[in-house]
Amino acid sequence: MAVERLTLADIDVAFVEAFLDHLAQERKCSIRTLNQRLAVLHAFFRYVQSEVPERMLQCQKIMAMPLRRHVQVPVAYMSKDELTQVLAHPDPTTPAGRRDAVMLSVLYDTGARAQELIDLNAHDVRLTTPAQVRLLGKGRKVRVVPLMDATARLLRDHLRENDLDRPERGHLPLFQNRHGGRLSRSGLRYLLHCHVQAARSEVPGFTQKISPHSLRHTKGMYLLQSGVSLEIIRDFLGHVDVKTTQIYARANLEMKRRALEKVAGESPSAALPSWQQSKSLLDWLRSL
């Protein structure tokens, strides 16, 4: 039906369901997007029922439509062997390989989002003790993240090699493509994909799909396994709400296993008595 011919009477629960299905199946919209659209419709029909009371039943049926539930996707993170192989794969004998080695190390060490990494300029890095990097996150919120010594050494060599350690060149991109411009997100994904594919042959069972965000998840998981609190991890990763950070606690099978081992020692180990071996109980049951 053409939009200009659409009337209020045409919009019912079935119509809205068909609209949401179209968004999901044809336009490949996420559950979050579907729920945003449905929330707008809820608000619209809340207004309509106050202005057109004779449509109240129609409005209430649409307003009663529940939001669609999110499917909880497990956090994709790498094992230590997988991470080691990926970080070690770039060829240190070539300029591109040295750049990739620094870039992947910074991506993991800082837990940065892909956009945060490629937005880095040379002046965002401070290598005096304590070494740190300044990240510009979502909502243009700035956070300062510490750098491990090994990553700081790699960055120092990278700045020197690319003539980025001079103050007048501090505005230039920290990681550049072969044309000297800022690396793109698709370029970062491609480079990571190449190194991951090469690392797969070194690690049996390394089959999961890895993206730049996987290194961020990996950092979050290892911080949690090291005993770092969710509040500190939240601040480190730049999450607004600690609820977002809780995905690492839910996904951490190793921590669940340790928790189960602790309570296992407190569980009764003796076998439960069998009712068939209790003569008094059997006599009582026969008397019923």
Q: How confident is the model at residue 284 (pLDDT cuts 50, 70, 90)?
A: low
pLDDT digits (tens, 9 = 90+) for 195-254: 999 999 888 888 888 999 999 999 999 998 888 888 989 998 998 877 778 777 776 666
Backbone angles phi, psi at 199, to 5 degrees: -75, -20
What are the φ and ψ backbone dihedral angles of 135, each rounded to 5 degrees? -110, 140
Q: Which residue has the higher pLDDT, 58 or 242?
A: 58
SS3 for 178-233 is: CCCCECCHHHHHHHHHHHHHHHHCCCCCCCCCCCHHHHHHHHHHHHHHCCCCHHHH
Distance CA 67, CA 176 (A): 43
Q: Is the pLDDT confidence value at 276 over 60?
A: no
The pair of structure tokens assigned to 31 is 């559950």
Assess whether 213 carries a catalytic annotation: yes
Strand boundaries in the chain, DSSP class E = 125-126, 132-136, 142-146
User: Is 28 an active-site residue?
Assistant: no
Provide CB contacts within 8 A for 221, sequence distance 6+. Answer: 75, 77, 248, 251, 252
Check residues 71 and 267 and name the one with the higher pLDDT.
71
Model pLDDT, residue 288? 57
Residue tagged active-site, from 195, 216, 219, 234: 216
Of the candidates 89, 99, 113, 158, the residue annotated as catalytic is 113
Coil, strand or helix: which one is 267? coil
Question: CB–CB of 38/67 below 8 Å?
Answer: yes
248 is catalytic: yes
Nearest CA among 38, 225, 3 for reference residue 30: 38
| Residue 65 pLDDT | 95
Q: Which residue's entry shows tokens 């510490």?
A: 146
Q: Distance between CA atoms of 246 and 234, rounded to whole angstroms?
A: 9
Catalytic option among 77, 108, 222, 248: 248
**122 close to 165: Cβ distance less than 8 angstroms:** yes
Based on the residue annotation, tell me whether 171 is a catalytic residue of this protein.
Answer: no
CA distances for 228 relative to 108, 109, 142, 234, 235, angstroms: 16, 15, 22, 10, 11
Residue intervals in the chain for CATH 1.10.443.10: 80-244
Q: Tell me which CATH code domain 80-244 carries.
A: 1.10.443.10
Alpha-carbon separation of residue 50 from 46, 47, 64 (angstroms): 7, 5, 16
Give the separation between CA 33 and CA 24, rounded to whole angstroms. Answer: 9
Q: What is the mean pLDDT of residues 36-44?
A: 96
Residue of 138, 166, 257, 258 marked catalytic: 138
Residue 271 pLDDT > 60: no
Mean pLDDT score of the chain, rounded to an integer? Answer: 87
For residue 275, pLDDT beyond 50:
no
pLDDT for 257 beyond 90: no
Please tell me the distance from the alpha carbon of residue 188 to that of residue 97, in angstroms, as a whole number.
13
Of 128, 25, 121, 129, give the one whose Cα is nearest residue 68.
25
pTM passes above 0.85: no
Active site residue 216: yes
